[in-house]
Amino acid sequence: MESYNSFHVAQKQVAEAAKLLNLDRATVELLSYPQREFSCTLPVKMDDGSVKIFHAYRIQYNFARGPAKGGIRFHPDETVDIIRALASWMTWKTAVVDLPLGGGKGGVVCDPKKLSERELENLSRAYIRAVAEYIGPEKDIPAPDVYTNPQTMAWMMDEYETIVHRHQPGVFTDKPLQIGGTEGRRDATARGGVTTVREACKILDVNPHGRYAIQGFGNAGQRAALLHEEILGGGKLVAVSDSRGAIYNPDGFNPKDLVTHKLTTGTVRSFPGAQQISHEEILELDVDVLYPAALENAISELNAEKIKAKIVCELANGPTTPEADLILFRKGVHVIPDILASAGGVTVSYFEMVQDSYSYFWDEDLVHKRLDQKLTKAYHSVQQAMVQKRVHPRLAAMVVGVARVAEACKLRGWV
């Protein structure tokens, strides 16, 4: 379990940004809590004929800028406070990249690894039956998250359409292409993150063709490995890690070969010619760019002083603790915070919503071009706030996001 209450961390971040923005007390309180929460109890028939009860949630954090947007995760350690925090961060994330959306998040407390495909489908459909009245293209648009995927969205969309008796693909994003998904979604999170690294290299005069390391070699980490050279025009991948081990080669790895090996064997640990290092060491290597793409709280006050990377691009949710943020800022390490670095996914999800709304789909090059424009503009907005307010990048990103949501709340007359 996490060592921090994620929601308390999220509330503290809102308070810090609000103080810099001189927001009034009512606005601060409004932005510190979800606007709407649902708790559901789901009876699901199992393969052996028994019925198992699952507990589930949907948190709709803020609607000021548009309908709620955020993933649904299936996880055995899910708690309502984790989902509240994630819904809060989605609110600021959509605002930072200037999308006409709010923030939301959902979760089902379950261990998907112990469920058959049919049981997962039954659970997915049960969840939608519980929340169908409260979601929709103009209310709340879910997407995949931890241990859910495009197939999960396909089941959920089908159940929703069965209930409302009409075709409505825009109610979910990151669907299979064949039923209203978009080109360019698979690598969107990593592509957005690497795009912000490119911009950071320009501003900080960091060598874009230098050494980089990736902590966490799941989907986002693998995509970052493949995209770093494409977007930055070069670079040497010297270290990667997954849950089973960490490897290092000062001469660099071939990203394509490494991804193929991971997909074939399930781990990077046995990659030929690699030197084994510890999970702690990969974070402390002397590299130009470090991509934390694994679990939360990986960089804390315990190891922040040892971080040597010039740029830390957070592809994971919350990999840096609040204490570590201050240490890294003092050391001159440039952190691209998760609500900016990983915003490529929700940006392309928004593009999917737009395409679904008028049943006309863009080619992949156009998706990539518009994603690049959005993330580039967002990076420089955060950089500008960082310089103006003289704060670390995460607080700067929060200032940008909170300011935009607060303005929408005031224009509506809520506060």
Q: How far apart are CA 160 and CA 32, in angstroms?
A: 31
Among candidates 245, 251, 242, which has minimal Cα distance to 273? Answer: 251
pLDDT value of residue 1: 38
DSSP label at residue 129: H
In DSSP terms, which residues pair with 44 in a beta bridge?
52
Tokens, residue 186: 């698979």
pLDDT value of residue 322: 87
pLDDT value of residue 3: 56
pLDDT digits (tens, 9 = 90+) for 250-269: 999 999 999 999 999 999 99
Whether 105 sits among the annotated catalytic residues: the reply is yes
pLDDT value of residue 2: 46
Cα dihedral across residues 241, 326, 1, 280: positive or negative: positive
**Number of Cβ atoms within 10 Å of the Cβ of 32:** 16
pLDDT digits (tens, 9 = 90+) for 108-162: 999 999 999 999 999 999 999 999 999 999 999 999 998 999 999 999 999 999 9
Tokens, residue 230: 């494409």
In DSSP terms, which residues pair with 136 in a beta bridge?
140
**Number of Cβ atoms within 10 Å of the Cβ of 384:** 12
Mean pLDDT along residues 403-414: 98
Q: Are strands 51-62 and 311-313 parallel, antiparallel or unpaired?
A: unpaired
pLDDT value of residue 194: 98
Residue 253, H or E segment: strand 245-253
**Number of Cβ atoms within 10 Å of the Cβ of 330:** 11
Cα dihedral across residues 102, 105, 97, 26: positive or negative: positive
Q: Where are the chain's structural domains?
A: 36-179, 182-355+368-415
Provide the whole-model pTM: 0.94
Residues 6+ apart with CB under 8 A from 385: 391, 396, 397, 399, 400
Residue 199, H or E segment: helix 188-204
pLDDT value of residue 5: 84
13 — alpha (psi -120 to 50), left (phi > 0) or beta?
A: alpha
- Equal CATH topology for 36-179 and 182-355+368-415: yes
Tokens, residue 207: 């060598």
Q: Which fold has domain 182-355+368-415?
A: Rossmann fold (3.40.50)
* Cβ atoms 102, 63 nearer than 8 A: yes
Residues of the chain above pLDDT 70, percent? 99
Of the residues 45, 52, 93, 105, only one is catalytic, namely 105
pLDDT digits (tens, 9 = 90+) for 72-91: 999 999 999 999 999 999 99
Residues 6+ apart with CB under 8 A from 229: 235, 255
pLDDT value of residue 317: 82
pLDDT digits (tens, 9 = 90+) for 309-343: 999 999 998 899 889 999 999 999 999 999 999 99
| Angle of CA points 152, 110, 193, to nearest 5° | 55
* Cβ atoms 363, 183 nearer than 8 A: yes
pLDDT digits (tens, 9 = 90+) for 256-307: 999 999 999 999 998 998 999 999 999 999 999 999 998 778 899 999 999 9
pLDDT digits (tens, 9 = 90+) for 15-37: 999 999 999 999 999 999 999 99
Asked whether the predicted pLDDT for residue 205 surpasses 50, the reply is yes
Q: How far apart are CA 289 and CA 312, in angstroms?
A: 6
CATH architecture of 36-179: 3-Layer(aba) Sandwich (3.40)
* Cβ atoms 298, 292 nearer than 8 A: yes
Q: In 254-392, which residue ranges form alpha helices assigned H by DSSP?
A: 255-265, 279-283, 322-331, 338-341, 344-358, 364-389
On average, the pLDDT of the chain sits at 95
Burial class (CB within 10 angstroms; exposed 0-12, middle 13-18, buried 19+) of 38: middle
Sheet of strand 211-215, all strands in order from the earlier edge strand to the far edge: 275-277, 245-253, 236-242, 211-215, 289-292, 311-313, 334-336
Q: How far apart are CA 30 and CA 61, in angstroms?
A: 10
